[in-house]
Amino acid sequence: MKYNRILLKLSGEALMGERQYGIDPKRLAEYAYEIKQITDKGVEVAIVIGGGNIFRGVAGASKGMDRVQGDHMGMLATVINGLALQSALEDAGIPTRLQSAVKINEVAEPFIRRRALRHLEKGRVVIFGGGTGNPYFTTDSAAVLRAIEIQADVILKGTRVDGIYTADPEKDADATKFDFISFDDVLQKGLKVMDTTAFTLSQENELPIIVFDMNKAGNLLKVVAGESVGTQVNL
């Protein structure tokens, strides 16, 4: 495998599958199978998952809700998704730990960096819930922050498209895909990979990002093995 330790970033919407909201058990089982393929190869895996399938703080704020209150609701949504993913992974025979930046000791460990590293070294998949624990920060920012803290080799952003394009491929048939692109080019072209805070943090710490289609069977294993899948963003 090309990468020994990865941070996999999944959106909450990815868990909906074909549904309009909530969590699709079938999609969870598919993701668990994909993740098991790489843990069986000895790859250390940490995961950050969003909460947009349940609640999105920005959307709540746009409708008059207090932004801080909405973001806290979003953080709790990520813990719910983390619990669901943890259950699916353990059903697949993968040992896991769920750590939360928001203290909910009855269902998740508090985030402690040294403990997270120890879990990874023992072959457990660590799921980070609760975002950063602070409002105004997205789960993209949480993913980059945790990846830096655990010294991950790469951030793998699993999406429903197979990389970064010149425009939204779902809206523009003429959009072309990048196989490789630099951080500077992403910023100059105004491409949306992550929010600016997360993206800048990744750039400053020289942490590469690979954007790929998580819903295509076998893609995760190919990416970790170093095959040319999706789009790689690096210096």
Structural domain total, the chain: 1
pLDDT mean by block of 10 residues, the chain; 235 residues: 96 88 93 97 97 78 82 94 97 98 96 98 98 95 98 96 89 92 93 92 96 95 96 93
What is the model's pTM? 0.94
Q: What is the pLDDT of residue 57?
A: 60
The pLDDT of residue 55 is 83
* Spatial distance between the Cα atoms of 72 and 64, rounded to a whole number of angstroms: 15
Q: Burial code of 70-94, b = ≥16 C-beta within 10 A, e = fewer?
A: bbbbbbbbbbbbbbbbbebbeebeb
**Parent domain of 33:** 5-234
Here the tokens at position 25 are 């058990």
Residue 155 belongs to domain with CATH number: 3.40.1160.10
- How far is the CA of 165 from the CAs of 160, 187, 191, in angstroms? 13, 13, 8
Q: What is the pLDDT of residue 168?
A: 85
In this prediction, residue 37 carries a pLDDT of: 97
